[in-house]
Amino acid sequence: MLRPLALLLAVLMAVALAGCGGGGGETADADATVAAVREFDFEPDNVSVQAGEVSVALDNRTQQRHTFVIEGREDDLKLSANAGETDAGSIELQPGTYTFYCDVPGHRPAGMEGTLTVG
């Protein structure tokens, strides 16, 4: 039970520190952490970020592999995390509403998708 909590705290700290980096006008508001906490569910499943370079972390707290991709931008960012692992990356996003999902066969139809709102 402590391992998932420690992993989540480490990811959140890394995301927060990335937002404090020098240069540009980026803030921690442009970063998002999405967790797979149940086998076919993202938490949160509605995420809001600022436009620009968006850093995303996938924290997989389940017993199987999950991915994070953005519909229509699958070639630009694909995070993949085995059970108990985390993956992170970044993508340039313009304002709009995007759908993110897990592209492991059967996971999206089982409900593993969410909405990313970029302002």
What CATH topology corresponds to 2-118?
Answer: Immunoglobulin-like (2.60.40)
Measured between alpha carbons, how far is 64 from 51 in angstroms, rounded to an integer? 31
Average pLDDT value for the chain: 81
Does the global pTM surpass 0.95? no
Which pair of structure tokens corresponds to residue 98?
Answer: 């995007």
Over residues 43-95, the pLDDT tens digits come to 999 999 999 999 999 999 999 999 999 999 999 999 999 999 999 999 999 99
Diameter of the chain measured on Cα atoms: 41
> What are the sequence ranges of the domains in the chain?
2-118
- How many CB atoms lie under 10 A from the CB of residue 67? 21
Question: What is the pLDDT at residue 39?
Answer: 86
